[in-house]
Structure 1
Amino acid sequence: MSGARSALAHNYHPLPVEIASGEGAWVTDTSGRRYLDLLAAYSAVNFGHRNAELVAAAKAQLDRVTLVSRAFENDQLEPFAAELVALCGKEMVLPMNTGAEAVESGIKVARAWGYRVKGVPHDQATILVASGNFHGRTTTIVSFSDDPSARDDFGPYTPGFRMVPYGSAEAIAEAIDDTIVAVLLEPVQGEAGIIVPPDDYLPTVRRLCDEHRVLLIADEIQSGLGRVGATFACDLVGVVPDLYLLGKALGGGIVPVSAVVGDRDVLGVLRPGEHGSTFGGNPLAAAVGRAVVRMLATGEPQRRARELGAVLERRLTALVGHGVTAVRVRGLWAGVDVDPAVGTARQVCERMMAGGVLAKDTHGQTVRLAPPIVISEADLEHAVDVLEHALVPAAVPTT
């Protein structure tokens, strides 16, 4: 386990548990103790640890070919793209690796579209973003973050972004001018603590984008692919963005896979040589991505997240006023605000760990819950029982 003399850079502050194996919603540490995983690698493990169907797809591809780069075609990439656009109701895919790469790619596409299609003057393209956002940690992305831990001491910052309050369509309407090429939003803000905007927010933003000829870019890297009880969080309010940014669960927790998905009149602005990635669209990633899309095409993960999400919301709502000040739930994804009298969210997560359940804090007082969608209802109920006990410092269950 990493410690004071670890060779690792200190860019994470993990809970003191060292995972050695996992299956479904459970993981086992190096001492043999089992824990329920209520984080699912920030939604990357939506379908469970070592999902049999996904592992089989990866193993089959490992015996064939894993990387040829985009200098050549491979027999998995075109089928992956076709199946993914069918799932999304779009026409074209730009495959990448990580979520941050998908965001960076979406920014480049929006700027190119602004210059080549909308006619924005050179180097004046501006993208509207929301306060409290989290889209990754590359230099450009932290340039439009308002989180000091992500931004401070990493300047100079990339220009071309304008921030407005999250959840306010009126602020977006006031900020749009002739230089705006896109509005980049998380339909539900994950890192901020599962912040859910008003129901009319995204539909109004969609209308404003249409009226002003502006792209709507939905960062569904955490919220998409089944987590919220629908394929996309945008589906919950009947909105279709111009570009979906996807990642995390698209790789099934096995390999990094991300994508920008949109129609030809937007993604088609890219020309050969203008953007790329050695590993983006590699055969192994595409094979796993195809298996993920096949699972989602059945609708079963979405249904399960919706039904278990109702259980989660019922149980968490009952905790308000009992060590919890507020909860926000979308499908099998929740933010739980801890009463400071109970302690910090980190302390609550440490107590949960002592009770055999793993979760993660964010922004001081919020515990994030995002269990694998394959979790059983009994295990989910047990996990909330452990959380309830963890809200009372002297009553920590052991397993």
Structure 2
Amino acid sequence: MVYEGMRSVAGPFLGSLGASALTVGVVTGAGEATALVLRLVTGAWADRSQQHWRLTVTGYAMTAVCVPLLAIAPFVGAAGVAVASVLILLERTGKAIRSPSKSALLARMATHTGRGRGFAVHQALDQVGAFVGPLVVAGAAAATGELWTGFLVLAVPGAVSLLLLAQLRRRVPSVAAPEPDDGGVSHPHPQRGLAALGTDLPRSFHLFSLAVALTTAGLMTFGVISFRFVDRGLVPIAAAPVVYAVAMACGALAALASGDLFDRVGARVLLAVPALVAVVPLLVYADELAVVLVGIALWGAAAGVQDSTVKAYVADLVPGRRRATAYGVLAAVQGVGALLGGALAGALVVHHVAALAAGIAALQVAAFVLLAVVLRTSARGPLPAGSR
């Protein structure tokens, strides 16, 4: 609720402070890159220190604090854009700190349920928050006529989430404990140096990471998408969070469906992502509201499919003792794609939409080919310890 509520209006909010389309694209793209690239460090750190829980709590606390603080940005004059940008980047840093550890914990707990379903349920519940959070911001903005009041309201679910984490801590199993398919074997701590950067991970994992990065580059940030439809007068600024909430609802449904398919038919479900992403810019940058809304629904669905299945497939490709590192490496490569995609979209969205759509389509063709190669060369199934 907290960070998705913020992201739903990040583009229009920065614009209201005086930011240009390029600035919005760079800041939101850099935010996603920060949330992803820094996981290269925090994932390896979690595997070395086995402090998965501590890193998880720290990351959530940063989000709970930084988002409400965005309410001060309109009151600091010309520094508003800079203050908001820094807080957005700090919130995304919190995401980077918690995510590898959180994903490793989820992969461990989903051993008995099926990882496709486990990550799908997680993603669907995440999308519930992503649906409600923007509506909270929209309601506050509609009631007061100011976006910053919505950020203050989000302090409440942020505080509640930290209380829930305090209750959950003693119930989370240790990632260091042997998994059922490990045969009771305890794994040593990961090596330092280059191994912590994923050099010892399977080649198929690295090819898969590159394919995911290409689809992420095509999944432009909602900040850029919303900046354009608000700028063209298709949607009032106060209604932007509602549009985002609709996209998140579509993502939740797509996540549940694709997670179940992942456990039944395998990672082939991921081949749908490049096809969906390639269509999105043709729709979200149209001049008719109905077409834009269809495109945003597809954007949310593509993100839901990717988020619910990518982490499950990584858990199959990589041994348990190296998963936090693997999630960090994956996120770092995705982050490069997010930054390039955000900058590309910000530079072209105002006057060169056709060129932007063509560029994204080319990226998705390359992503589809890479995914097909990985799926042919890597048989999906339970991974014996140390076999890859």
Q: One fold, TM greater than 0.5?
A: no
Which TM-score applies when normalising by structure 1?
A: 0.25
Higher relative contact order (CA 8 A, sep 6+): 2
Larger % of helix: which?
2
Which TM-score applies when normalising by structure 2?
A: 0.25
Give 1 or 2 for the bigger CA radius of gyration.
1
